[in-house]
Structure 1
Amino acid sequence: MQLTTFSDYSLRILIHASLKAPDFSTVGEVSSRFGISRNHVMRIVQFLGQQGLLHNVRGKSGGFTLGRPATEISIGQVVRVTEQNLTIAPCFSEESQEGRCRIEPSCRLTGILKEALGAFLMVLDGYTLQDLLQGSRGLRQLLGMGEASTQ
C-alpha cells in the first residue's frame, strides 16, 4: 500500500506543528522547511483544520497549531481522513463495477486483503504524533528548528 502525497504532506505538517507546539507554525515555515509549495501547504492546513487536527488562526500574526495534544492524534486516524481511497484492489470498490473480477463472489483473496488493510491501519493506530517525536533533536536539526518550547 502506498500513501498519497496528500497524506505524506499532512503527516509532515502535523509533525512540524507537534515540534513547534505550543507555538504557532506558519505556512511559510512549513513550505520552506519541507520544500512543499505554499499552495499545497495552505490547502492541507485548511483541510486538517476542518478535520479538527489543527487549530488555524488567520491574519498577520496567525498560523496553526495542533487541534488536540499530540498524544491524542493517531497516525491511523490521520491516514483515514487524508486517504480518499483505501482500496487495495479494484474488487474493494463498492461504487464501480469496472475492473470487477469474475471470481470475486467466491474469492478468498478479497477477505485476506481486507484483513491486511485492517492490520496496517491497526498498527498505525498504535502510534501517535507524540511517538514520532522520540529523538526529536535530529528532526529539529534537519528542519533548522531550535530547541523545544517549554510547555
Structure 2
Amino acid sequence: MKLTRYTDYALRVMIHLAMRRDDLASIRQIAAIYGISQNHLMKIVQDLGHAGFVETIRGRNGGLRLARPADQITLGALVRHTEGHCPLVDCAGCLIAPACDLPAIFAEAMEAFLAVLDRYRLADVATRPDALRQLFGIESIGGPAS
C-alpha cells in the first residue's frame, strides 16, 4: 500500500507538533521546514483541526498544537482519517468482478495494516525530540514529547 502525499504531510505536521509539546508552531514554520506549500498545508491543518487532532489558536501569538497528548493519538486513527475508506483496488467495470475474491483479500490486508498502526501512538514516533528539534533547527523547548 502506498499512502497519499496528503497523509504523508499530515503525519509530518503531527510529528512536528508532538515534538513541540504545548509550544505553538505556525503553518509557515512547518511549511518552511519541510518545503511544503503553505496553502496546501493550511488545508491539511484545517482538516486535522476539524477531526480533533490539532488545535488552532488564533491571534497575534496564536499557532498550532496537538489537540490531545501524543500518547492518545494512534497512527491508525490518523491514517484512517486522512486516507478515508478507499479500497486498494477499483473493480468497477472489471469483467471478472462478480466471481473474483481479490477485493475481499485486499480488504483483509488493509485491516491488518491498520491494526498494526493502531498499536502505535504518535508519541512512539517522536521519542527523540531533541534530535528532531536539531533536524528542524529549533532550540530545545519544553522537554520530551508526550
TM-score by length of 2: 0.90
1:101 aligns to what? Answer: 94
1:136 aligns to what? Answer: 129
Q: Note the alpha carbon deviations across 1:94-131, whole angstroms, 9 max, x for none.
A: xxxxx332322332222211111111111111111100
**What letter corresponds to residue 75 of structure 2 in structure 1?**
I
1:4 aligns to what? Answer: 4
Percent same amino acid at aligned positions?
41
- Displacement of 1:87 in angstroms is 1.4
1:13-92 correspondence runs (5 A)? 13-91=13-91
CA RMSD between the two structures: 1.6
Uncovered stretches (5+) of structure 2, i.e. residues with no partner: none
SS of 2:76's equivalent in the other structure is helix
Q: What is the distance in 2 between the residues matched to 1:148 and 1:23?
A: 8
SS of 1:61's equivalent in the other structure is coil
Q: Of 106, 118, 123, which residue of structure 2 is paired with 1:113? A: 106
Q: How many residues align?
A: 144
**What letter corresponds to residue 109 of structure 1 in structure 2?**
L
TM-score by length of 1: 0.87
- Displacement of 1:37 in angstroms is 1.4
Q: What is the distance in 2 between the residues matched to 1:112 and 1:141?
A: 43
